[in-house]
């Protein structure tokens, strides 16, 4: 399903690969955690592995870090094959989901650990530890034990402990998962800024779509051990390849289409339960396919007064209105099927459409997209 090594839209031929994964498979008993995964992560990019739990994203991260071994396939970091290189000699460091701080060591000792293992002189270590703690703003906690820290503070220690080694690639395994929403948002921004400043390649595992959208240069969306789509945030959101991608990131209206006739340049006409829709958005090639799915994001729908007619305009009925403050969510019914529409509350009272009210929905041709499945 995923095309191995397919570059995203930002690809440029001179971008060097920080990590190159090819044909990676990993099976745990009868569970296929990774199924022939290939991808290239560029030097200095913030790359997210996004997907539901069990999709293989953490396994992929662990194999890159050397904490797990692949059944087949290969990993190269900075152009160097990693097959025979154990975890402790790889040029990567990991920020673990549960932080995994050494409970019997102080914050400073935790952060110093990597340098101690490299037999760096004690004076150098002290200086670099102080700088690393400053960098993540926990200088005043140096002599505390991990048990005396809050979740956010532990996270910062884990970050400093990994970054002090100046890894070529930093692996982050759902590092913000255990934190409350407010702190998570703060740290998202901080992580992003830090990554920009240091220029270190970050590989960030998360199941939180918003987190991935906010922070990443590129995202690989995974499912059942395979990569469904790789691209930057806008590409994945605006041009999902299939139903799974369209549903995993945000909400999306899916419309079954049967029949297909080519229109003018770059456009087509699709037969749907809502009538004939003109599709300009493109997406997957549909020539020769009997049935396929059209996708349109709820915020792309236009709500017009009842009775308006024209291209891609469909009569609909309001079944539910949810007022969210800045916007309203309208659950509509058109052609006997539900449609979801989001509208900004540009003027006061804009959302005041009663359930049962009739209106016309406009599905702009440029926003309709044909999916692969």
Partner 1 sequence: MARRAAAEVRFGEQLTPRSELLRSALVSGPAIAWVSLFLLIPLVAVVGMSFLTRGSYGQVGLPATFENYRRLAGYGLLGYDPLYPQIILRSLLLAAGTTLVCLLAAFPLAYFIVRLPGRFKNAALTLVVIPFWTNLLIRTYAWQILLGPESLLARLASALGLAPAGQPLYPSTLAVYLGMLCAYLPFMVMPLYSSFEKLDWSIAEAAMDLGAGGPQVLRHAILPQVAPGMAAGVILVFIPAVGQFVIPDLLGGAKTVMLGNAIQQQFGASRDWPFGSAISFVGMALVMLGLLLYARSAARRGEEGLL
Interface contacts to partner 1, rule CB under 8 A = 65-67, 86-89, 92-94, 96-98, 100-104, 113-114, 117-118, 145, 161-162, 165
Q: Is 370 exposed, middle or buried (0-12, 13-18, 19+ CB in 10 A)?
A: buried
Q: Give the nearer residue to partner 1 in terms of CB position, either 162 or 270.
A: 162
Q: Give the nearer residue to partner 1 in terms of CB position, either 116 or 258.
A: 116
Q: Lay out the sheet containing 337-344: strands in order across.
A: 302-305, 358-362, 313-323, 327-334, 337-344
In angstroms, give the least distance from the CB of 102 to partner 1: 6
User: Residue 36: how many CB atoms within 10 A of its CB?
Assistant: 16
H-type helices in 136-230, by residue range?
151-163, 181-198, 209-215
In angstroms, give the least distance from the CB of 14 to partner 1: 31
Half-sphere exposure of 87 (CA within 13 A, CB side): 12
Which two three-digit tokens encode residue 65? 């870090």
In angstroms, give the least distance from the CB of 10 to partner 1: 29
In angstroms, give the least distance from the CB of 149 to partner 1: 15
Q: Give the nearer residue to partner 1 in terms of CB position, either 105 or 357.
A: 105
In angstroms, give the least distance from the CB of 105 to partner 1: 8
Strand bridging mode 291-296 / 327-334: unpaired
Q: Give the nearer residue to partner 1 in terms of CB position, either 113 or 260.
A: 113
Q: Give the nearer residue to partner 1 in terms of CB position, either 70 or 249.
A: 70
Strand bridging mode 46-50 / 201-206: parallel
Q: Give the nearer residue to partner 1 in terms of CB position, either 155 or 286.
A: 155
In angstroms, give the least distance from the CB of 124 to partner 1: 15
Check if the beta carbon of residue 275 is closer than 8 Å to that of residue 262: no
User: Residue 213: how many CB atoms within 10 A of its CB?
Assistant: 18
In angstroms, give the least distance from the CB of 52 to partner 1: 22
Q: Give the nearer residue to partner 1 in terms of CB position, either 116 or 317.
A: 116
Cα–Cα distance for residue pair 21/238, rounded to 1 Å? 26
In angstroms, give the least distance from the CB of 355 to partner 1: 48
Q: Give the nearer residue to partner 1 in terms of CB position, either 145 or 289.
A: 145
* Alpha-carbon distance values, 300 to 187, 263, 272, 307 (Å): 31, 22, 18, 20
In angstroms, give the least distance from the CB of 202 to partner 1: 15
Query: What φ, ψ does residue 93 adopt, rounded to 5°?
Result: -135, 155
Q: Give the nearer residue to partner 1 in terms of CB position, either 68 or 280.
A: 68
H-type helices in 118-150, by residue range?
122-135
In angstroms, give the least distance from the CB of 173 to partner 1: 10
Burial 121-157 (b: 16+ CB within 10 A, else e): eeeebeebbeebbebbebbebbeebbeebeebbbbbb
DSSP conformational letter for 42: E
What sign has the CA pseudo-torsion 288, 289, 290, 295?
Answer: negative
Cα–Cα distance for residue pair 160/341, rounded to 1 Å? 44
Q: Give the nearer residue to partner 1 in terms of CB position, either 9 or 98.
A: 98
């Amino acid at each position: 399903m995923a095309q191995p090594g397919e570059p995203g839209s930002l690809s440029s031929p001179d971008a060097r690969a920080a990590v190159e994964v090819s044909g990676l498979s990993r099976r745990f008993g009868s569970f296929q955690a990774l199924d022939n995964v290939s991808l290239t992560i560029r030097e200095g990019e913030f790359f997210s592995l996004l997907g539901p739990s069990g999709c293989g994203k953490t396994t992929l991260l662990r194999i890159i870090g050397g904490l797990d071994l692949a059944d087949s396939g290969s990993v190269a970091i900075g152009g160097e094959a990693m097959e025979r290189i154990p975890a402790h000699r790889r040029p990567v460091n990991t920020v673990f989901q549960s932080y995994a701080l050494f409970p019997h060591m102080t914050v400073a000792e935790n952060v110093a650990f990597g340098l101690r293992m490299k037999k760096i002189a004690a004076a150098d270590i002290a200086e670099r530890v102080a700088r690393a703690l400053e960098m993540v703003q926990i200088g005043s906690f140096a002599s505390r034990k991990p048990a005396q820290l809050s979740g956010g503070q532990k996270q910062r220690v884990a970050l400093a402990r990994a970054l002090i080694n100046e890894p070529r690639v930093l692996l982050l395994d759902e590092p913000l998962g255990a934190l409350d929403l407010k702190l998570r948002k703060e740290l998202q921004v901080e992580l992003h800024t830090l990554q920009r400043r240091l220029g270190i390649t970050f590989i960030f595992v998360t199941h939180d779509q918003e987190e991935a959208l906010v922070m990443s240069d590129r995202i690989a969306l995974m499912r059942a051990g395979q990569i469904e789509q790789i691209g930057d945030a806008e590409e994945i959101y605006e041009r999902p390849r299939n139903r799974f991608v369209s549903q995993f990131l945000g909400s999306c209206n899916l419309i079954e289409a049967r029949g297909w006739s080519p229109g003018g340049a770059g456009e087509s006409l699709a037969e749907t339960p809502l009538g004939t829709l003109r599709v300009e958005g493109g997406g997957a090639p549909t020539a020769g396919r009997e049935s396929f799915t059209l996708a349109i994001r709820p915020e792309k729908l236009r709500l017009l007064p009842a009775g308006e007619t024209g291209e891609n305009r469909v009569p609909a009925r309001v079944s539910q209105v949810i007022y969210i403050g800045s916007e309203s969510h309208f659950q509509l019914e058109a052609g006997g099927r539900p449609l979801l529409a989001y509208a900004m509350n540009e003027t006061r009272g804009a959302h005041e459409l009663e359930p049962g009210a009739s209106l016309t929905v406009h599905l702009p041709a440029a926003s309709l997209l044909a999916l692969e499945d």
